């Protein structure tokens, strides 16, 4: 017994070092995510147009209560019962009850057929010895029937449970992926991408094996064990009770070993996820690794994770060796007890040799069934332990950032106001606020440039406007409506956003430009947007034109940024946000793109509010107003903001920035 306790203590000391701050979103447990258990991407509930407004309001209140509970509760460990219930719901919700029904029916028939074989086999042997041809012939035919029936039903059982395993693995991955898609951006700030992809891959696959392997084998061996025990009690109650006692001791030892396996498996999965994260990060930054010659350092970092995995696996193997010693000793003891006590009973005339033969066969069967049941229970606990984080993730509630609820305005004019807004990133809760008491107003159809040193809060201001994060204090208004009261999914459809480092999806250029457009898009519209972004020429020069499949590695920074500009133009946005959108463009193309932006803003049929985050003087000078930020606050007092000429006259931070850029260009 001590060996198991010893290893558990050592495993506790091997807890994986935190790669990033644990997410507070892990904190909900036991409340299934609404509408995320269907095969298609779930439709987020609680829309403003819900037909039953009273029910919707109750649901919204319940969701808010659950989210508050989620944000202040420590993540609970996943129990085996909870895991089995979740897996059953996933399989059953797919309409696959018939698969489970056929699987369990076949399992029962096969188990009953197999448990009848030892008794008939012993009778056949002694019938042949005594020369009873009638009994021998009858039993031989019955044995053949049982073997065929068992074989057919075992095949059906394996096939149906295999289908259930495929369904479960597919549903696990779909549900987990859909849950992750609808989490706060702050969730992805604190969670490693390699960790999440590992949960979607290996962890889901391992958890799904519970249905295909463990559940079916547990039920089969439980039935066979019960049948064997009944036959043993009929043959000899004292021998049966002694065998049952040994089986109970064997089960207790194995369950202790199973608890150890569960802890070890969880650590192995965590360490493996760490290794995957390290490898993914290295491969994605391979150019930097090569330039700085840190291949050996990165190999050492990866090896550290593998060493931890190997260390846990070695200890688990040692514990398994002790378990094998216990099993072998008790198993052989049962055989010895059966032979000794059975032999004494034969010599005393209490039992026959045929009865003893049946007893030994059923004794073997009971021991085997006990071993298989405890082994599969242990394996199931190991799978649940290894995949505990998968089930915790699946219990997360959707973020308010993706819920389609709130007010939809008839038209977005583009008037934006920040009122006493302060903010710090959730992953940096102990740091000083990134934004501190921001008060600024952007008029409709106005071009506003936001400038400042790196880290002054420029991009954070945009992130709050897109409601990727929530301010800790203050309020943001769009056309006089609080941002929190607007349908954010609808509002984002009215905003065009070009990030500083746009990323291209692995799909055709046409699909990349169309990305996120809810309306039907014609090919001519895509080409028109590309022409306005001065991307048409380089796209046409590609082998398949607009149908060329690209990704981040196949295009230059300027090409990716022009595609991002085309994507924003195609959305026909009421608010256009450019976060260093011209930083990767050459001077000539930048000139044209700025002309396009000016034309879009000046279009009398579709005027737009334009917010530009820029460092280039040529881009800043074209703005109606310039907002200067420093240390999370708006500077240039007493004026606070103005156009290029007015701020130069103030001789403050803006003038210094312009002077520094002019000196650099000189």
pLDDT digits (tens, 9 = 90+) for 99-136: 888 888 998 998 888 888 888 888 888 888 788 888 88
* pTM of the predicted structure, to 2 decimals: 0.68
Q: Is the pLDDT of residue 379 over 60?
A: yes
Could you tell me the residue range of the domain that residue 626 belongs to?
412-494+577-584+609-666
Q: Show contacts of 329-336: CB within 8 Å, 24+ apart.
A: 330/246, 330/249, 330/250, 331/250, 331/367, 331/371, 333/246, 334/243, 334/246, 334/363, 334/367, 335/360, 335/363, 335/364
Taking the CB of residue 466, how many other CB atoms lie within 10 A of it?
17
Q: Is the peptide bond before 638 cis (omega within 30 degrees of 0)?
A: yes
Q: Is 647 within 8 Å of 452 (Cβ atoms)? A: no
Which residues make Cβ contacts (< 8 Å) with residue 379, sequence separation at least 6? 213, 214, 261
Taking the CB of residue 627, how many other CB atoms lie within 10 A of it?
25
Q: Look over the chain and give the mean of its residue pLDDT values, rounded to a whole number.
A: 77
Q: What percent of the chain has pLDDT over 90?
A: 8
By CB neighbour count within 10 A (0-12 exposed, 13-18 middle, 19+ buried), where does 540 fall? exposed
Q: Is residue 565 part of a domain?
A: no
Which residues make Cβ contacts (< 8 Å) with residue 62, sequence separation at least 6? none
Q: Which pLDDT score is estimated for 596?
A: 63
Q: Which pLDDT score is estimated for 391?
A: 81
Q: Which pLDDT score is estimated for 421?
A: 92
In this structure, the answer to whether residues 278 and 383 fall within a common structural domain is yes
pLDDT band of 661, cuts 50, 70, 90: low
Report DSSP state, residue 486. B
In this structure, the answer to whether residues 208 and 282 fall within a common structural domain is yes
Arithmetic mean of pLDDT, 236-257: 81
What CATH number is attached to the domain comprising 273? 1.20.1560.10
pLDDT digits (tens, 9 = 90+) for 565-579: 889 888 888 898 888
Arithmetic mean of pLDDT, 344-363: 79
Which residues make Cβ contacts (< 8 Å) with residue 551, sequence separation at least 6? 504, 505, 506
Which residues make Cβ contacts (< 8 Å) with residue 537, sequence separation at least 6? none
Q: Is residue 549 part of a domain?
A: no
In this structure, the answer to whether residues 101 and 171 fall within a common structural domain is yes
Unique residue bearing structure tokens 């308010």: 400
In this structure, the answer to whether residues 257 and 286 fall within a common structural domain is yes
pLDDT band of 583, cuts 50, 70, 90: low
In this structure, the answer to whether residues 422 and 390 fall within a common structural domain is no
Q: Which pLDDT score is estimated for 305?
A: 93
Q: Is residue 662 part of a domain?
A: yes
Return the CA Rg of the chain: 34
d(CA 464, CA 423): 9
Q: How far is CA 663 from CA 613, 617, 658, 659, in A?
A: 21, 12, 9, 6
Q: Is residue 516 part of a domain?
A: no
What CATH number is attached to the domain comprising 465? 3.40.50.300
Q: Which pLDDT score is estimated for 69?
A: 47
Q: Is 241 within 8 Å of 360 (Cβ atoms)? A: no
Among 14-18, 331-335, 383-387, 644-648, which is the least confidently predicted range?
14-18
Unique residue bearing structure tokens 């993540």: 75
Arithmetic mean of pLDDT, 439-452: 88
Q: Is 606 helix (H, G, I), strand (E, B) or coil?
A: coil
Q: Is 459 within 8 Å of 579 (Cβ atoms)? A: yes
Question: How many domains in the chain?
Answer: 2
The residue from 367, 394, 421 where one domain ends is 394
Q: Is residue 551 part of a domain?
A: no
Q: Is the pLDDT of residue 552 over 80?
A: no
Q: Which pLDDT score is estimated for 665?
A: 47
Report DSSP state, residue 549. E
pLDDT band of 310, cuts 50, 70, 90: very high
And the tokens for 69? 């509970």
Q: Is 661 helix (H, G, I), strand (E, B) or coil?
A: helix
- pLDDT greater at residue 419 or residue 385: 419
In this structure, the answer to whether residues 379 and 458 fall within a common structural domain is no
> What are residue 247's DSSP bridge partners?
none
Which residues make Cβ contacts (< 8 Å) with residue 555, sequence separation at least 6? 504, 563
Report the residue count for the chain. Answer: 666
- One DSSP character per residue, 81-145 reads HHHHHHHHHHHHHTT-HHHHHHHHHHHHHHHHHHHHHHHHHHHHHHHHHHT-HHHHHHHHHHHHH
In this structure, the answer to whether residues 252 and 374 fall within a common structural domain is yes
Q: Is the pLDDT of residue 306 over 90?
A: yes
The residue from 338, 364, 394 where one domain ends is 394
Q: Is residue 447 part of a domain?
A: yes
In this structure, the answer to whether residues 364 and 490 fall within a common structural domain is no
And the tokens for 178? 């859909």
In this structure, the answer to whether residues 629 and 660 fall within a common structural domain is yes
d(CA 116, CA 106): 16
Q: Is 451 helix (H, G, I), strand (E, B) or coil?
A: strand
In this structure, the answer to whether residues 479 and 366 fall within a common structural domain is no
Q: Is the pLDDT of residue 418 over 90?
A: yes
Q: Is 216 within 8 Å of 157 (Cβ atoms)? A: yes
The residue from 394, 424, 453 where one domain ends is 394
Q: Which of 444, 461, 484 is nearest to 575 (CA)?
A: 444
pLDDT digits (tens, 9 = 90+) for 484-501: 889 888 888 889 888 888
Instruction: Give the angle subtended at the CA of 561 by the CAs of 556 and 567, to the nearest 5°.
Output: 130
Arithmetic mean of pLDDT, 185-210: 80
Q: Is residue 572 part of a domain?
A: no
Q: Is 14 helix (H, G, I), strand (E, B) or coil?
A: coil
pLDDT band of 663, cuts 50, 70, 90: low
In this structure, the answer to whether residues 452 and 304 fall within a common structural domain is no
Q: Is 322 within 8 Å of 340 (Cβ atoms)? A: no
Q: Is residue 225 part of a domain?
A: yes
Which residues make Cβ contacts (< 8 Å) with residue 205, sequence separation at least 6? 169
Q: Which pLDDT score is estimated for 267?
A: 87
And the tokens for 565? 């500009």
And the tokens for 365? 């069967």
Arithmetic mean of pLDDT, 604-632: 77
**Burial readout 350-380 (b: 16 or more C-beta within 10 A, e: otherwise):** ebeebbbbbbbbbbbbbbebbbbbbbbbbbb
pLDDT band of 419, cuts 50, 70, 90: very high
Which residues make Cβ contacts (< 8 Å) with residue 193, sequence separation at least 6? 277, 280
In this structure, the answer to whether residues 379 and 416 fall within a common structural domain is no
Report DSSP state, residue 398. P
Query: In degrees rounded to 5, what are phi and psi of residue 610?
Result: -120, 125
d(CA 28, CA 394): 9
């Amino acid at each position: 017994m001590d060996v198991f306790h010893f290893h558990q203590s050592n495993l506790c000391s091997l807890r994986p070092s935190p790669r990033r701050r644990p997410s507070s979103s892990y904190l909900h447990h036991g409340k299934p995510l609404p509408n995320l258990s269907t095969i298609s991407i779930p439709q987020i509930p609680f829309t403003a147009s819900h037909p039953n407004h009273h029910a919707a309001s109750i649901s919204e209140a319940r969701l808010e209560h659950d989210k508050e509970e989620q944000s202040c509760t420590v993540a609970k460990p996943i129990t085996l019962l909870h895991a089995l219930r979740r897996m059953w719901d996933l399989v059953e919700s797919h309409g696959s009850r018939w698969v489970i029904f056929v699987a369990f029916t076949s399992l029962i028939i096969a188990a009953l057929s197999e448990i009848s074989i030892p008794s008939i086999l012993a009778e056949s042997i002694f019938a042949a010895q005594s020369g009873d041809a009638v009994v021998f012939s009858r039993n031989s035919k019955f044995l053949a029937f049982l073997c065929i029936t068992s074989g057919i039903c075992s095949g059906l059982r394996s096939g149906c449970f295999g289908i259930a395993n495929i369904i479960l693995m597919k549903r696990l991955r779909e549900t987990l992926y859909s849950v992750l898609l609808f989490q706060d951006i702050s969730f992805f700030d604190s969670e490693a991408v390699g960790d999440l992809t590992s949960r979607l891959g290996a962890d889901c696959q391992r958890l799904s094996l519970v249905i295909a392997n463990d559940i079916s084998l547990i039920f089969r061996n439980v039935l066979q064990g019960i049948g064997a025990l009944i036959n043993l009690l009929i043959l000899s109650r004292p021998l049966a009770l002694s065998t049952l006692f040994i089986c109970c001791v064997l089960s207790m030892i194995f369950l202790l070993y199973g608890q150890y396996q569960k802890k070890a498996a969880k650590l192995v999965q965590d360490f493996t996820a760490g290794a995957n994260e390290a490898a993914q990060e290295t491969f994605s930054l391979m150019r930097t690794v090569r330039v700085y010659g840190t291949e050996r350092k990165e190999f050492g970092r990866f090896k550290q994770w593998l060493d931890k995995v190997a260390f846990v696996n070695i200890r688990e193997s040692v514990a398994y060796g002790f378990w094998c010693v216990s099993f072998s000793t008790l198993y052989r003891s049962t055989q010895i007890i059966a032979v000794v006590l059975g032999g004494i009973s034969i010599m005393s005339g209490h039992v026959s040799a045929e009865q003893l033969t049946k007893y030994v066969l059923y004794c073997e069967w009971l021991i085997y069934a006990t071993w298989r049941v405890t082994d599969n229970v242990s394996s199931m606990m190991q799978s649940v332990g290894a995949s505990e984080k998968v089930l915790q993730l699946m219990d997360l509630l959707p973020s308010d950032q993706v819920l389609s609820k709130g007010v939809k305005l008839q038209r977005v004019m583009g008037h934006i106001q920040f009122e006493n807004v302060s903010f710090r990133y959730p992953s940096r809760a102990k740091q000083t606020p990134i934004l501190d008491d921001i008060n600024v107003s952007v008029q409709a159809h106005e071009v506003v440039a936001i400038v400042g040193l790196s880290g002054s809060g420029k991009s954070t201001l945009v992130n709050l406007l897109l409601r990727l994060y929530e301010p800790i204090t203050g309020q943001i208004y769009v056309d006089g409506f609080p941002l929190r009261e607007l349908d954010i999914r609808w509002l984002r459809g009215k905003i065009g956003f070009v990030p500083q480092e746009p990323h291209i999806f692995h799909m055709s250029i046409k699909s990349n430009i169309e990305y996120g457009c809810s309306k039907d898009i014609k090919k001519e519209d895509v080409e028109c947007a590309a022409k306005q972004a001065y991307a048409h020429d380089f796209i046409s020069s590609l082998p398949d034109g607009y149908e060329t499949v690209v990704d981040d590695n196949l295009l230059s920074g300027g090409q990716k940024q022009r595609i991002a500009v085309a994507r924003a133009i195609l959305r026909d946005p009421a608010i256009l946000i450019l976060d260093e959108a011209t930083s990767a463009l050459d001077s000539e193309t930048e000139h044209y793109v700025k002309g396009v932006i000016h034309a879009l803003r000046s279009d009398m049929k579709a005027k737009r509010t334009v917010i530009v985050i820029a460092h280039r003087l040529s881009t800043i000078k074209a703005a109606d107003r310039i907002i200067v930020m420093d240390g999370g606050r708006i500077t240039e007092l007493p004026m606070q903001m103005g156009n290029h000429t007015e701020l130069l006259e103030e001789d403050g931070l803006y003038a210094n920035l312009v002077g520094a850029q002019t000196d650099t260009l000189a």
